[in-house]
Amino acid sequence: MKRNDAHDDDQQWFDARLKADLQSFDEAFDSPPHDVAGLALLVGRYQKELNRRLWRELALFWLVAAILLAAVFGLLERSLALFVVLQGITALSALLIIGMTVWRRRKSLWKSS
């Protein structure tokens, strides 16, 4: 059976041993509230950098796509047989990747059920 003043004893022990240290900790690490203008400036800079990075990635994507298309069309002009072989390898690779993905998903579903 608990005594009625057990909570008071615990609170007194806490106050005697930890309260002063916790208050000094709070005072040492208490940060003032952030100003809205500073946060808005930070968000604006982040959005500008993100926008710049996305445009750079899009430009790189278009550059690589143009190079690949030029290479494929160049191969088509040089040798129809090599072009057909390249297209066949590409199609088989795509089917293999899709098949492996479906197989892994079904395998994980079988394990989980």
Q: Which two tokens stand for residue 84?
A: 């057909």
* 71-111 pLDDT, tens digit each: 999 988 999 999 999 999 999 999 999 999 999 888 877 77
- State pLDDT tens for residues 1-33: 455 555 678 888 888 888 888 888 887 877 777
Q: Following CA atoms 38, 41, 42, 45 in sequence, which dihedral angle do they give, to the nearest 10 degrees?
A: -160
Contact 45, 34 (CB under 8 A): no
Helices marked H in the chain — which ranges? 6-14, 20-29, 36-78, 80-112
Closest CA to 89 of 64, 72, 74, 69: 72
DSSP 4: T
Residues 86, 72 contacting (CB under 8 angstroms): yes
Neighbouring CB atoms inside 10 A of 72's CB total: 14
Q: What is the pLDDT of residue 81?
A: 92
